[in-house]
Structure 1
Amino acid sequence: MTQAHNTLARRRWLMLAGASAITALVPTLGWSDGDEDEGDSGSSSTTAISPAATGLTGRMVVVGGGMAGVTAAKYLRLWGGSGLTITLVEPATTYVSNIMSNLVLNGSRTVTSLGYTHGNLTSKYGVNVVRASLTAIDTANKSLTLSDGASLPYDRLVLAPGVEFEDAYGLTQTDYETRTPHAWRAGPQTQLLRDQLAAMPSNGTFVMTIPKAPYRCPPGPYERACLVADFLKTHKGAGSKVIVLDENFPTDAANPYTAIQAEAHSFTQAYTVTHAGVVDYQPGVTDIAIDPVTKAVSYTDRMGVPHTVTPQVVNPIPPHRATGSSATGWLTQAGLANGASGKWALVNVLSFESTAAGATGVHVIGDASQCGLPKAGHVANQEAKICVDAIVRALSGQQPDPAPVANSACYSPITASTASWLTAVYQYDSVNKKFVVANNGGVTAGAKPVEAASASSQNFQQMNTWFNTLMGDAFA
Structure 2
Amino acid sequence: MKKIQISGELSRRQWMGVAAGGLVAGLVPFAGWADNRNMTVVNRRQTVTSPLAITAITGKKVVVVGAGMAGMTAAKYLRMWGGKGLEVTLVEPDALYTSSIMSNLVLNGSRTIAGLQFSRDTLTQRYGVVRKAGTVVSVNRSAKTVGLADGSSLPYDRLVLAPGVSFDNAYGLTQTDYNTRTPHAWRGGAQTTLLRQQITTMQNGEIFVMTIPKAPYRCPPGPYERACVVADHLKTSGRGNCQVIVLDENPNVQAERHTFETAFTGLHASVIRYIPNVTGIQIDPASKVVTYVDAVGGTQVINAKVVNPIVPHRAVGSETGGWLAQAGLNNSADGRWAMVNVLSYESTLLGAEGIHIIGDASSCGMPKAGHVANQEAKICADAIVRLMTGAQPDAQPVANSACYSPITANSASWLTAVYQYDPTDRRMKVANSGGQIMVNGVAATATEAASVSQENFKDMGTWFTTLMKDTAA
Alignment TM-score, normalising by the size of structure 1? 0.91
1:96-175 correspondence runs (5 A): 96-175=98-177
Partner of 1:52: 53
Name the amino acid aligned to 1:197. Answer: I
1:225-304 correspondence runs (5 A): 225-249=227-251, 259-304=252-297
2:421 and 2:386 map into 1 onto residues whose CA distance is 18
2:213 and 2:299 map into 1 onto residues whose CA distance is 18
Q: Secondary structure in 2 aligned to 1:294?
A: coil
1:360-375 correspondence runs (5 A): 360-375=353-368
Structure 1 position 18, deviation (Å): 6.6
Mapped pair 1:346 → 2:378? no
CA contact (8 A) 1:19 1:382 kept: no
CA contact (8 A) 1:200 1:312 kept: yes
Q: Which of the numbers 300, 319, 324 marks the counterpart of 1:326?
A: 319
CA contact (8 A) 2:338 2:362 kept: yes
Q: Which of the numbers 428, 436, 452 marks the counterpart of 1:455?
A: 452
Name the amino acid aligned to 2:126. Answer: K
Partner of 2:208: 206
1:93 and 1:193 map into 2 onto residues whose CA distance is 24
CA distances 1:133-162 after superposition (whole Å, capped 9, x unpaired) = 000000011001101110110000000000
Q: Secondary structure in 1 aligned to 2:259?
A: helix
Deviates more, 1:183-192 or 1:236-245: 236-245
Name the amino acid aligned to 1:443. Answer: I
Structure 1 position 25, deviation (Å): 4.8
Name the amino acid aligned to 1:469. Answer: T
CA contact (8 A) 1:182 1:189 kept: yes
Mapped pair 1:464 → 2:461? yes
Structure 1 position 55, deviation (Å): 2.1
Return closer, same or farther for 1:67/1:16 CA change in 2, 3 Å cut-off: farther
1:375-394 correspondence runs (5 A): 375-394=368-387
Return closer, same or farther for 1:435/1:282 CA change in 2, 3 Å cut-off: same
1:235 and 1:19 map into 2 onto residues whose CA distance is 45
Structure 1 position 390, deviation (Å): 0.6
Structure 1 position 10, deviation (Å): 2.7
Q: Secondary structure in 2 aligned to 1:408?
A: strand
Structure 1 position 443, deviation (Å): 1.1
1:351 and 1:235 map into 2 onto residues whose CA distance is 49
Return closer, same or farther for 1:18/1:435 CA change in 2, 3 Å cut-off: closer
CA distances 1:306-359 after superposition (whole Å, capped 9, x unpaired) = 110111100000000000100011100001000031000000010000001210
Partner of 1:255: none
CA contact (8 A) 1:23 1:409 kept: no
Structure 1 position 204, deviation (Å): 1.5
Q: Secondary structure in 2 aligned to 1:124?
A: helix
2:56 and 2:118 map into 1 onto residues whose CA distance is 32
Partner of 1:5: none
Structure 1 position 108, deviation (Å): 0.7
Structure 1 position 17, deviation (Å): 3.6
1:141 and 1:134 map into 2 onto residues whose CA distance is 15
2:11 and 2:373 map into 1 onto residues whose CA distance is 22
1:429 and 1:396 map into 2 onto residues whose CA distance is 25
Structure 1 position 15, deviation (Å): 3.7
Q: Percent identity?
A: 60
Return closer, same or farther for 1:47/1:361 CA change in 2, 3 Å cut-off: closer
After TM superposition, which residue ranges in structure 1, 4 or more long, deviate above 2 angstroms?
Answer: 14-27, 45-48
Q: Secondary structure in 2 aligned to 1:265?
A: helix
Structure 1 position 48, deviation (Å): 2.6
CA contact (8 A) 2:397 2:421 kept: yes
1:224 and 1:25 map into 2 onto residues whose CA distance is 25
Name the amino acid aligned to 1:438. Answer: A
Return closer, same or farther for 1:23/1:200 CA change in 2, 3 Å cut-off: farther
Name the amino acid aligned to 1:375. Answer: K
1:129 and 1:78 map into 2 onto residues whose CA distance is 16
Return closer, same or farther for 1:46/1:81 CA change in 2, 3 Å cut-off: closer
1:450 and 1:290 map into 2 onto residues whose CA distance is 36
Partner of 1:10: 11
Q: Secondary structure in 2 aligned to 1:145?
A: strand
Partner of 1:223: 225
CA contact (8 A) 1:204 1:312 kept: yes
1:18 and 1:428 map into 2 onto residues whose CA distance is 13
Partner of 2:33: none
Name the amino acid aligned to 1:321. Answer: R
Q: Secondary structure in 1 aligned to 2:13?
A: helix
Name the amino acid aligned to 2:314. Answer: R
Alignment TM-score, normalising by the size of structure 2? 0.91
Name the amino acid aligned to 1:276. Answer: A
Partner of 1:336: 329
CA contact (8 A) 1:25 1:466 kept: no
Q: Which of the numbers 409, 424, 442 marks the counterpart of 1:431?
A: 424
Name the amino acid aligned to 2:295. Answer: R
Mapped pair 1:474 → 2:471? yes
CA contact (8 A) 1:143 1:151 kept: yes
1:443 and 1:25 map into 2 onto residues whose CA distance is 18
Structure 1 position 236, deviation (Å): 3.9
CA distances 1:2-21 after superposition (whole Å, capped 9, x unpaired) = xxxxxxx9311024447877
Structure 1 position 302, deviation (Å): 0.6
